[in-house]
Amino acid sequence: MWVDESSGYQPVDRAAEPHRWCEAVYSDRVIVTQWDDGTVAWPQVGHRPTCSASMPSAVLGMLDVLDVQPGHRVLEIGTGTGYNAALLAEYLGDDQVSTIEVDPVLAGQAQARLTEAGYQPTVICDDGAAGHQPTAPFDRVLATATVRVGELPYPWVAQTTLGGRIVVPMRTEITSGPVVAFTVHADGTASGHPMPLYVGFMELRAQRSPLGDLNGLRWDDPDADTTSTTELAPWTVFNNLDPRWAVGIRLRGCRWWHWPPTRKRPHVLWLIDTHSRSWATAAYGRDPGPYPVRQHGPRRLWEEAEAAYHWWTQNGKPPVEAWEFLITPDQQHHHLTP
């Protein structure tokens, strides 16, 4: 496993460092158990964590939102290590819990761990986006992978009982966001509100965003399509979750990075659309604006981000909790509550 330290993720070998391993396992921290779908060999650190043991506080927080009661049938999306499934099986009984994992290696490992610990929930190796009709309907559905706003898999709604609850962490390409609790209604729709709980889980594999690549790009590229300035301080757009969430909902298909200053350059905020290869930079330092902006490609990403930020301010700077989500069989909507 790999533990998040101040210097980045570091490998911890259970056999070689049992005390350090035990300390990490029983701490309230994230432990990565797989990188890049298992293509990265121990003890190397990869580019994308693809399985982890989540912070126990996050696990318990989501289970609290799920509000399982004796007799409930539960579907978990994303078995991972099997820890969540074990907790649910302990409370509800093996027959009431189904857990689905897309990675066959992870599914097999989780099944073995659960059996060794004395639990026998139904473990399925399949794409969790489709739910699991053979063991439906469910009173509760719990996703331990983040879902992009506007793309919650409708089978989760269709396989949930009337009044049932779906708990899922939501995200945009720009930022992870809140855990949202959805309630299923008689007309086949589900509506949800953000909970005061924020997690940074891995993406549902069917919805992964490209990692993006800044190689070969220059923040001060003289060949940028447009150069301009902005009076809007770049850090005000992305440093806080509330504006970043609103910008992310409106600025689809875009990721961002921050480059800290060096002796040769100021702070640089990057925006990149990996599909169209559009990019934008906004540079800033200690001096007040205006701040230089460069944009390249078919999209003017900084202009889009600035427009989204002004939309947020014009609507009263709503917090993340002010959003509401509606899932129908054909469409998905999000809007601010009055």
How confident is the model over 287-319, as pLDDT tens digits?
888 999 999 999 999 999 999 999 999 999 999
Mean pLDDT of 181-189: 97
DSSP conformation class of 248: H
Is there a single domain that holds both residue 39 and residue 137?
no
Q: Which residues contact 299 (CB under 8 A, 6 or more apart)?
A: 273, 276, 278
Mean pLDDT of 138-157: 96
Return the H-helix or E-strand segment holding 293: strand 291-296
Is there a single domain that holds both residue 40 and residue 155?
no
| CATH code assigned at 277 | 3.30.160
What pLDDT does 212 receive? Answer: 64
Is there a single domain that holds both residue 183 and residue 310?
no
What pLDDT does 41 receive? Answer: 85
Is there a single domain that holds both residue 154 and residue 61?
yes
Q: Which residues contact 41 (CB under 8 A, 6 or more apart)?
A: none
Cα separations (Å) of 276 from 105, 210, 292, 329?
A: 34, 12, 23, 30
| Domain contains 89 | yes
| Domain contains 69 | yes
Is there a single domain that holds both residue 199 and residue 104?
yes
| pLDDT grade for 7, boundaries at 50, 70 and 90 | confident
Q: Which residues contact 257 (CB under 8 A, 6 or more apart)?
A: 212, 214, 269, 270, 272
What pLDDT does 95 receive? Answer: 97
Is there a single domain that holds both residue 180 and residue 255?
no
Strands 160-171 and 138-143: parallel
Mean pLDDT of 224-232: 89
Comparing CA positions, the residue from 26, 334, 81 lying closest to residue 202 is 81
Cβ neighbour number for residue 163 with a 10 Å cutoff = 10
Is there a single domain that holds both residue 185 and residue 75?
yes
| Domain contains 338 | no
Q: How far is it, in rounded angstroms, from Cα 182 to Cα 140?
A: 10
Is there a single domain that holds both residue 103 and residue 33?
no
Is there a single domain that holds both residue 60 and residue 182?
yes
Is there a single domain that holds both residue 233 and residue 306?
yes
pLDDT, the chain, mean: 92
| pLDDT grade for 222, boundaries at 50, 70 and 90 | confident
Comparing CA positions, the residue from 80, 84, 131 lying closest to residue 110 is 80
Cα separations (Å) of 126 from 58, 89, 251?
A: 25, 20, 31
What pLDDT does 234 receive? Answer: 93
Instruction: Name the active-site residue from 6, 7, 27, 52.
Output: 52
Q: Which two tokens stand for residue 24?
A: 């990490």
Burial 171-199 (b: 16+ CB within 10 A, else e): bbbbbbbbbbbbebbeeebbbbebbebbb
Is there a single domain that holds both residue 103 and residue 194?
yes
Contact 205, 102 (CB under 8 A): yes
- Catalytic (active site) residue 98: no
Residues paired with 184 in a beta bridge: 190
| CATH code assigned at 166 | 3.40.50.150
Mean pLDDT of 256-277: 90
| pLDDT grade for 4, boundaries at 50, 70 and 90 | confident
| Domain contains 216 | no
State how many domains the chain has.
3
Residue 216 has pLDDT above 80, yes or no: no
Mean pLDDT of 246-254: 92
Structural domain of 111: 56-208
What pLDDT does 201 receive? Answer: 86
- In percent, the amount of the chain with pLDDT more than 70 equals 99
Q: Which residues contact 101 (CB under 8 A, 6 or more apart)?
A: 78, 79, 80, 107, 110, 123, 124, 125, 128
